Amino acid sequence: MFLSILQIIVAVLLIILILLQERSSGLSGILGGGNESGSYQTRRGLEKIIFYGTIVLTVIFIAIALLSLIK
């Protein structure tokens, strides 16, 4: 029961962080809808924190899912 509630909380936070990320870094950026110059832009400040937070929450979400399967 505790793992399910924790997984829901992590999932909601993960969705929020994904939605906060820059739009051009997704599929539209790959297809040419993002930066017009085509150069790579480094992440700085809050954008970097959101990016790393998304990675950390993804790993936590996967770990909780695997723990739920084992339990």
CA distance 36 to 29: 10
Residue spans per domain, the chain: 2-70
* pLDDT band of 37, cuts 50, 70, 90: low
pLDDT of residue 71: 81
Q: What is the pLDDT of residue 36?
A: 56
Angle value at C-alpha 65, between 60 and 68, nearest 5 degrees? 125
